[in-house]
């Protein structure tokens, strides 16, 4: 039986962190794995050899996730005024089990603080292979929650929005044609990614 991509889902929460000058300095992201994917991960950790505690195994998993994501820029693309923004390296991260779901949280710094200067900053978080679909945390009506994207750290008046993906029907058909073991073309996940937008006065 054929299985359409994606094979797992991540509920995303983003806190845009401003410094005392109102510049963006980091994105704190929270990824909540879907219940089934979480169950598979937890069962694998429990079955692993050795006498390490579950907490220690989750810590090790966090290091593996961070190391796997680093060459892929942590699945994150950030632009400002139409220009790509350079990202730094993640050194602060944690993995925990909460309510039966695996949650990976990390602080993604910008390479240099970014003054928005009235221009919109946009980001997308996506798995290029579209093996995992990343969507902002949403309510029962599938509308993103207010807390899925917030700005913290400054008194600046900021507005946020989350724009839904609008993939070309051809890309939807391409994703649906993939069997479970197929490898998607690099970048397919971009077409299914939501876009977070942040604008601040000043």
pTM above threshold 0.75: yes
**Residue 90: both structure tokens together:** 């993640």
Residues 6+ apart with CB under 8 A from 166: none
Q: Look at residue 2 and tell me if it is in a domain.
A: no
Tell whether 160 is covered by a domain.
yes
Q: How many domains does the chain have?
A: 1
Instruction: Give per-residue pLDDT as tens, 108-156.
Output: 999 999 999 889 999 999 998 888 899 999 998 889 999 999 999 988 8
Residue 3 within any structural domain of the chain: no
- Biggest CA-to-CA distance, the chain: 55
Write down the pLDDT at residue 1. 31
| Residue 137, domain extent | 8-200
Question: Does the residue 1 lie in any domain?
Answer: no
Query: Does residue 26 sit within a domain?
Result: yes
Share of the chain above pLDDT 90, in %: 72
């Amino acid at each position: 039986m054929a299985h359409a991509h994606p094979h797992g889902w991540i509920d995303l929460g983003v806190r845009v962190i401003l410094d005392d000058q109102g510049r963006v300095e980091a994105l704190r992201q929270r990824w909540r794995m879907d219940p089934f994917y979480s169950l598979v991960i937890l069962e694998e950790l429990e079955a692993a050899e050795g006498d390490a505690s579950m907490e220690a195994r989750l810590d090790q998993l966090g290091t593996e996730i961070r190391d796997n994501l680093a060459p892929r820029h942590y699945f994150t693309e950030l632009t400002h005024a139409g220009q790509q923004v350079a990202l730094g390296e993640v050194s602060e991260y944690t993995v925990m089990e909460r309510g039966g779901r695996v949650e990976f949280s990390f602080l993604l710094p910008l390479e240099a603080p970014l003054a928005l200067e009235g221009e919109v900053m946009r980001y997308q978080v996506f798995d290029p292979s579209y093996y995992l679909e990343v969507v902002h945390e949403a309510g029962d009506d599938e509308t993103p929650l207010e807390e899925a994207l917030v700005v913290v750290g400054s008194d600046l008046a900021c507005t946020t929005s989350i724009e839904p993906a609008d993939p070309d029907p051809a890309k939807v058909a391409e994703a649906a044609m993939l069997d479970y073991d197929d490898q998607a073309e690099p970048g397919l996940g971009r077409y299914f990614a939501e876009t977070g937008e942040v604008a601040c006065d000043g």
